[in-house]
Amino acid sequence: MRFSARGNVIKIHEYQAKELMSRYGIQIPEGDTASDPEQTALLISHLGPPTIVKAQIHAGGRGIGGGIKFANSPEEGRGIAEGLIGSHLITNQTGAQGAIVHKLLVEKTVAIKREMYLACVIDRSSQGPLLIVSPTGGMDIEKIAATQPEKILRVPIDLGAGFQPYQSRNICRFLNLDPKFIRAIFDLMTSVCGLFIENDCSLVEINPLVLDERDCLIALDAKIDFDDDALFRHMRLSNFRDASQQEELERQATEAGVAYVKLDGTVGCLVNGAGLAMATMDLAHGVGAEPANFLDVGGSATIEKIAAAVKIMLSDTNVTIILVNIFGGILRCDILAEGIVKAFRDIGSTLPLVVRMSGTNVEAGTRILFESKLDVSFASTLRELEGILSAKYA
């Protein structure tokens, strides 16, 4: 899962990714979505078995988790749908609570000759989009990168000139595809690059990309992530939003516009700056105090935003203490302090706070907290903070 300090996260389902790919001329298996067992059975009889039924959740690992099943008849499909729809599917990426299944993607199976891997991401060294291809499909690309790096080809795309024919020839050769596929590969890569750039994606992944028995290149599975920061120019992507797939506190954080990741510990961490937030978590962990969350309130936070962030932390019932570590730059300590006080008062919380503030308007902030009558321990350095926390968790 990915989070943004701007609170504008859109994740999309496989069927939506495939729909978008199809609009760019990328071939996808014949199929459609179903929301209940009856529709599923109807769809299968319409498509003609054998079919594959895929649970639509915002997490990977569905195959092993039981979310992808073959259906050789409408009846079998109905049974699968009855088991899946409404259930919480648990995979290695969902966490213990699982993710609720509302929709199934039902597709006609494809007669596969070969499975390959294709993705497009942003590359730091070439400062633009990068295509990643591998003749080994269906596997986790990170696993391939770790064990068979020679099986991965990286093809940088120049934003001015676009994907080039020579790159298509190189990819074909690398994938050990017959030269007759050079044109098809060119068209596919041009489509993937167009989709990536025009929609401000952060990831377009086709895994596996398969060659079927009719020699067509088909996106058998599809994953698209977007650059949260560019969503302002793709407002129609909001239609893709599926609130049911997001952890409740993280959903609230998204709305409040703060970067929040829920973790399993008891120390609520309120920090500004991602680096300092991570360092603060490292510090807590170092003295045996496990963080309950990552939370970066960002630079230009308002009182309301801080208050919302604190309330989200406080509604995590595991939290027994709030650790505040702020180094004011753009964020001013007085605004931070007011936000904290507002949240504690609104909720009526009495949890203890350990606060270390520094930087812009630190005196005003300290005064506000001091006068608030909340249970605050002040630290003036990180080592003092470490000491206080260490004492509490000793």
Partner 1 sequence: MSIFVNNKTRLLVQGITGREGGFHAEQCLTYGTNVVAGVTPGKGGHIVAGKIPVFESVHQAVNETGANVSLIFVPAPFAQDAMLEAVDAGIELIICIAEGVPILDSAKTLNFISKQGARLLGPNCPGIISPAERCKVGIMPGYIHLPGTVGVVSRSGTLSYEAVSQLTALDIGQSTCVGIGGDPLIGTDFVDVLKLFNQDPETELIVLIGEIGGNMEQDAARYIKEYVTKPVAAFIAGATAPTGKRMGHAGAIITGSDGTAAEKKSALETAGVVIIPSPGEIGITVKNMID
Residue ranges in contact with a second copy by CB under 8 A? 158-160
Looking at beta carbons only, is 6 or 367 nearer to partner 1? Answer: 6
> Which of 178, 215, 255, 282 touches partner 1 by CB under 8 A?
282
> Which of 93, 109, 266, 372 touches partner 1 by CB under 8 A?
93
Task: Establish whether 117 is a catalytic residue.
Answer: yes
Looking at beta carbons only, is 70 or 166 nearer to partner 1? Answer: 166
> Which of 14, 221, 296, 338 touches partner 1 by CB under 8 A?
296
Name the catalytic one among 117, 250, 260, 386. 117
Looking at beta carbons only, is 158 or 178 nearer to a second copy? Answer: 158
> Which of 112, 249, 347, 382 touches partner 1 by CB under 8 A?
382
How many chain residues touch partner 1 (CB under 8 A)? Answer: 74
Q: Is residue 119 near partner 1 by the rule CB under 8 A?
A: no
Looking at beta carbons only, is 41 or 253 nearer to partner 1? Answer: 253
In the complex, what is the shortest distance from the CB of residue 71 to partner 1, in angstroms, rounded to a whole number? 31
Strand order in the sheet with 104-108: 31-34, 104-108, 51-55, 68-71
- Which string of DSSP letters, residue by residue, matches 328-372? ESSS-HHHHHHHHHHHHHHHT----EEEEEEETTHHHHHHHHHHT
- The number of angstroms, rounded, from the C-alpha of 157 to the middle of its chain's C-alpha atoms is 24
Closest CA to 174 of 122, 132, 129: 132
Name the catalytic one among 76, 107, 205, 338. 205
- The number of angstroms, rounded, from the C-alpha of 369 to the middle of its chain's C-alpha atoms is 36
Q: Is 199 helix (H, G, I), strand (E, B) or coil?
A: coil
In the complex, what is the shortest distance from the CB of residue 123 to partner 1, in angstroms, rounded to a whole number? 9
Looking at beta carbons only, is 7 or 129 nearer to a second copy? Answer: 129
Closest CA to 322 of 298, 350, 347, 288: 350
Looking at beta carbons only, is 29 or 137 nearer to partner 1? Answer: 137
Binding partner of residue 386 among a second copy, partner 1, none, CB cut-off 5 to 8 Å per kind: partner 1
> Parallel, antiparallel, or unpaired: how do β-strands 321-328 and 353-359 relate?
parallel
Q: Is residue 316 near partner 1 by the rule CB under 8 A?
A: no
In the complex, what is the shortest distance from the CB of residue 259 to partner 1, in angstroms, rounded to a whole number? 4
Site for partner 1 in 18-77 (CB under 8 A): none
> Under a CB-based contact definition with an 8 Å cutoff, are residues 109 and 125 in contact?
no
In the block, tokens 């648990």 appear at: 90
Binding partner of residue 381 among a second copy, partner 1, none, CB cut-off 5 to 8 Å per kind: partner 1
Backbone angles phi, psi at 214, to 5 degrees: -90, 15
> Which of 39, 280, 349, 366 touches partner 1 by CB under 8 A?
280
> Under a CB-based contact definition with an 8 Å cutoff, are residues 289 and 266 in contact?
yes
In the complex, what is the shortest distance from the CB of residue 180 to a second copy, in angstroms, rounded to a whole number? 23
User: What element of type H or E holds 209?
Assistant: strand 201-212
In the complex, what is the shortest distance from the CB of residue 111 to a second copy, in angstroms, rounded to a whole number? 36
Task: Establish whether 393 is a catalytic residue.
Answer: no
Residue type, 189: M
Distances (CA, A) of 224 to 21, 122, 267: 9, 13, 34
Residues assigned a catalytic role: 117, 205
